[in-house]
Amino acid sequence: MKPKAITITVVFDAMSGNYGETVGNVSELKKISKKGELYSFISRQALRYELWKFLKEQFGIDTPEYWSSKPELAQAVKEELKRAGFSEELPPPEILHAEQEVVQFHPSVNALNCVEADLFGYMKTQQGENAATRSAVVRLSPAISLEPMLLDTEFGTNKNFADRTGANPNPFQFEHHSSLYTYTVTVDLDRLGCEFDRNGEKVAELPKGEKLRRIEMVLDAIPFLVREVKGRTENLSPLFAVGGVYPVKNPFFMGRINVNYNRNTDRYSINTDVLNSVFDLSFRGEPVGKYTHCGYVEGFWENNFKEELRLNEENFVGNISGFFSKLKEQVIEGID
């Protein structure tokens, strides 16, 4: 069966990754209730921003340099834009603008000439017309903590500044939560690099080489994401990753990650029984495990994953780098 989607669920270790509103001098973490407990989370918008920022800083997406680095692809994209009746300018002159005090993508932006719009979707409104929308190809779930909050609080002041100016210090408080977090990324391979009209009909499509470049950038970025918050840098790099390239679109491992902590060994373990149950699911007679790979950081987990997970030997990549390299190899089959 032809691959249609990528789904990846990762686990990382971080502290206090996303704050909500400030009440008085107290900065509260974003949190959600579950199983009678409070869990902190990092919103999908925050993860989308970190992914976009990495792509911008490391690959220069949506800049003239991005297109000049691959002139043969740029020329092919210009020809497709011309055929479809779009502007051939790469990149478009404006990515964002304010329309009726709403910040949104510029009317000239489309999935071919703008990497951000292709990967994360867009909405463009014009007075007197229905909004033109395109749902995201790369979709992110919130990163939800795997351990409940205990409402730890940091108290501080700007004492150094106050002493240096002879003023009174200003107290502040931050909620904190150090935990393992998990989130899921899904990618629609059959919609990547395609522009649709208002009726949902495909009107233009990127060449295969440019589609591959974009999805490979995403797969290169996920292992190196960081989060800058309140003067700290938090590492979002996966400690565990499971997923693959599948013939059906489904975030198979979302909500399927449960962890335990062993105080005696000072290590975490993942409930592999739940994952094995997902591997056993069948679609058109083929188990999910056939397409699934696993990568993890050695020495962090108490699990013996090779013995506990019912995966074929060739699917068991082992390390995180090998996991993402394997996905990049397999995604070629799903790109037309």
* Residue 255 φ/ψ region, left for φ over 0, alpha for ψ in the -120 to 50 degree band, beta for the rest: left
For the cut 90, the answer to whether the pLDDT of residue 157 exceeds it is: no
pLDDT per residue as tens digits for the range 202-259: 999 999 999 999 999 999 999 999 999 988 999 999 999 999 999 999 999 999 999 9
CB 236 within 8 A of CB 50: yes
For the cut 80, the answer to whether the pLDDT of residue 131 exceeds it is: no
pLDDT per residue as tens digits for the range 68-122: 999 999 999 999 999 999 999 999 999 988 877 788 898 899 999 999 999 999 9
CB 179 within 8 A of CB 151: no
C-alpha 329/C-alpha 314 separation (Å) is 13
CB 147 within 8 A of CB 161: no
Higher pLDDT, 23 or 67: 67
CB 116 within 8 A of CB 61: yes
CB 6 within 8 A of CB 246: yes
Give CA 41 to chain center in angstroms: 14
* SS3 per-residue string spanning 134-149: ECCCEEECCEEECCCC
Average pLDDT (175-202) is 94
What's the Cα-to-Cα distance from 180 to each of 56, 147, 297, 314, rounded to whole Å? 27, 7, 14, 28
Average pLDDT (315-336) is 89
In the chain, how long is the greatest CA-to-CA distance?
Answer: 75
Q: Which of 127, 120, 153, 144 is nearest to 27 (CA)?
A: 153
Q: Give the model's pLDDT for residue 7.
A: 97
Average pLDDT (126-147) is 87
Report the b/e string of 41-66 with b at 16+ CB within 10 A. bbbbebbbebbbebbeeebebbeeeb
For the cut 90, the answer to whether the pLDDT of residue 198 exceeds it is: no
For the cut 80, the answer to whether the pLDDT of residue 15 exceeds it is: yes
C-alpha 59/C-alpha 115 separation (Å) is 11
Average pLDDT (22-37) is 90
Number of other CB atoms surrounding residue 76 within 10 Å = 16
For the cut 90, the answer to whether the pLDDT of residue 2 exceeds it is: no
CB 331 within 8 A of CB 6: yes
Q: Give the model's pLDDT for residue 126.
A: 67
C-alpha 328/C-alpha 217 separation (Å) is 10
Give CA 126 to chain center in angstroms: 30
What's the angle, vertex CA 132, arms to CA 126 and CA 135, rounded to 5? 145
Please state the pTM of the whole predicted model.
Answer: 0.93
For the cut 90, the answer to whether the pLDDT of residue 185 exceeds it is: yes
Give CA 248 to chain center in angstroms: 19
Q: Give the model's pLDDT for residue 91.
A: 95
What's the Cα-to-Cα distance from 259 to each of 96, 192, 205, rounded to whole Å? 41, 34, 42
Average pLDDT (323-329) is 94
| High-pLDDT (> 90) share of the chain, % | 76
C-alpha 41/C-alpha 37 separation (Å) is 13
pLDDT per residue as tens digits for the range 31-78: 999 989 999 999 999 999 999 999 999 999 999 999 999 999 999 999
Q: In the numeric block, which tokens belong to residue 169?
A: 């210090």
For the cut 70, the answer to whether the pLDDT of residue 129 exceeds it is: no
CB 189 within 8 A of CB 215: yes
Work out the mean pLDDT of the chain and round it to a whole number: 93
Q: Give the model's pLDDT for residue 121.
A: 94
